[in-house]
Amino acid sequence: MLIRLAASLCFLALFGAPVFAEDFDLTKAKRTYKDFCSHCHGIDMVNPGTSSYDLRKFPADQKDRFYTSVNKGRGDMPAWGDILLPDELDLLWKYVVTRGGKEPLPKEEAAVPATDTDQTQQHGSLTTKPGTLTACLAKNGGVMSSRRAKGGAGLDYALVTALADQMGLALEVEWFESEQEEESTPIRELYALLAYNVCDVMPGFALYETSLSAFYKTRAALPRYDNKPAHLGPEFQVDLEPISVSDPYARMEMGVVYRTPEFEREITQIADMEGLKIGVEQGTLAGVLTLRQGTSKMVADSITANPGPDFLWKMEQGAFDAALVTVGAYDFHKKQNFVSTLALDEYRHPIGFNLSVAMLKSRRDLLDQIDPTINAMIADGRMAALAKKNKVTFSSPKEPWVQSNLTMEDILLRR
Ligand code: HEC
């Protein structure tokens, strides 16, 4: 995440033309609307707003109210209950709620069959699904999160389990797959999942200044997730919304890893690795820091290798003897390779990222419960214990909570 975090900053937003009406018959909906509703509410719902209700403003989360008003009539509007067929009414709801096919159906609409109209809409609930905390977790999240046949594993999974517990809510996990392609932008995917209400909260959010502000008023594609409706193709784009973040619960850091403990030495800065055969993880922050803060001899003799899980395998096989990598990558490698000889030094690079739980700003009241729980868990050692149980080398969050945008000066001088 750290790596891709830095990499994702330079990507451009993609503005694809959205296709929102694939899951219902928009043509038929349009015709029904025209036949029964347009003479009062206007063609395409455009009306002066003086004589009848402006349907473009009908609240998308008040489906029940729509059905009741239309069936039974309201004010000067006649009742339609005896005139419209149930599926015509469903089509009209979809027509109105998608603003004539220009906006996506709310999540429930997309997932629930159209006949299920009795669903009670909950208002004032802090979570999408009342009584349940829904968390988005990466299936391929290394030691932080991974899916199991029953439940999940990893520190992030343990954390959301504890949070739901503390709040007296059931936990539901929406497992998503962070795309591994170069063009993908994990932070934007995360924003998209939250904005589309796929989940209430999402741990693993690295507190980096840019990530907190950069996406206002842009759109992004959703990553793949287990319950993703089939009609939401890669071209589907979500309007991103502002988010809020919790107090940090852990810190993502970079440390020096040796091929075997025999290469160990006293390290207080990257340049102290001189004399060892150094590996440089290409295109990552750790790699850049190695090149910029290492001695010129060290850099000249270094070996550059592709980023990702294979990098530490290369070291295991003897391609080089030491490297700066994210501690999480080391943990994951050790977890997967019981016979690994790699060893982690105690040194940590001062540049690191605190991890927090992200949610839509509109749900920030959740923080009244999340923040105290996180702080208590850090204070009484439960967070560290959970980390240990999940084979995560734990570091407590460090001030400043939010890492400001990295400058060239940071890259050269913060050591
Ligand atoms: C004869 C004119 C007329 C027709 C035809 C008509 N409406 Fe209305 N509709 C109104 C008026 C007037 C209001 C404002 C009612 C009020 O709140 O006093 C309204 C309000 C509404 C509301 C808002 C109700 C609320 O809860 O505030 C909805 C939804 C609605 N109409 C849907 C429809 C649909 C769908 C159709 C087609 C099946 C339709 N209307 C056809 C006149 C009409």
Residue nearest to atom 3 of ligand 1 (CA): 40
| Number of domains the chain contains | 3
Q: How far apart are CA 310 and CA 151, in angstroms?
A: 27
**Mean residue pLDDT across the chain:** 84
**Does residue 382 or residue 35 have the better pLDDT?**
382
Tokens 């295991």 sit on residue: 316
Q: What is the pLDDT of residues 102-153, one digit of tens each?
A: 888 877 665 444 333 333 333 356 888 889 999 999 988 889 999 888 889 9
pLDDT over 90, % of the chain: 47
Whether residues 200 and 98 share a domain: the answer is: no
Q: How far apart are CA 141 and CA 147, in angstroms?
A: 9
Residue 18 belongs to a domain: no
Whether residues 364 and 240 share a domain: the answer is: yes
Give the pLDDT confidence score for residue 116 in this predicted structure.
Answer: 36
User: Among 145-149, 254-258, 264-268, 324-328, which is the least confidently predicted range?
Assistant: 145-149
Distance 80 CA to ligand 1 centre (A): 10
Give the pLDDT confidence score for residue 109 in this predicted structure.
Answer: 65
Q: Please determine, for residue 88, whether its predicted confidence score (pLDDT) is greater than 60.
A: yes
Q: What is the pLDDT of residues 343-358, one digit of tens each?
A: 999 999 999 999 999 9
Whether residues 232 and 362 share a domain: the answer is: yes
Residue nearest to atom 10 of ligand 1 (CA): 77
Whether residues 244 and 258 share a domain: the answer is: no
User: Among 11-20, 85-94, 225-234, 292-301, which is the least confidently predicted range?
Assistant: 11-20
Residue nearest to atom 17 of ligand 1 (CA): 75
Ligand 1 contact via 80 beta carbon (within 6 Å): yes
Give the pLDDT confidence score for residue 122 in this predicted structure.
Answer: 38
Specify the CATH number for the domain of residue 31: 1.10.760.10
Residues contacting 399, CB < 8 A, separation 6+: none
Residue 400 belongs to a domain: no
Residue nearest to atom 29 of ligand 1 (CA): 66
Ligand 1 contact via 75 beta carbon (within 6 Å): yes
Pocket residue to mutate for ligand 1, from 62, 77, 99, most atoms within 8 A of Cβ: 77
Last residue of a domain, one of 104, 120, 140: 104
Q: Kindly report the length of the chain.
A: 415
Per-residue pLDDT band for 163 (boundaries 50, 70, 90) equals very high
Q: Please determine, for residue 308, whether its predicted confidence score (pLDDT) is greater than 60.
A: yes
- Note the Cα 358 to chain centre separation in Å: 8
From residue 393, alpha-carbon distances to 78, 92, 311, 329 in Å are 66, 54, 19, 10
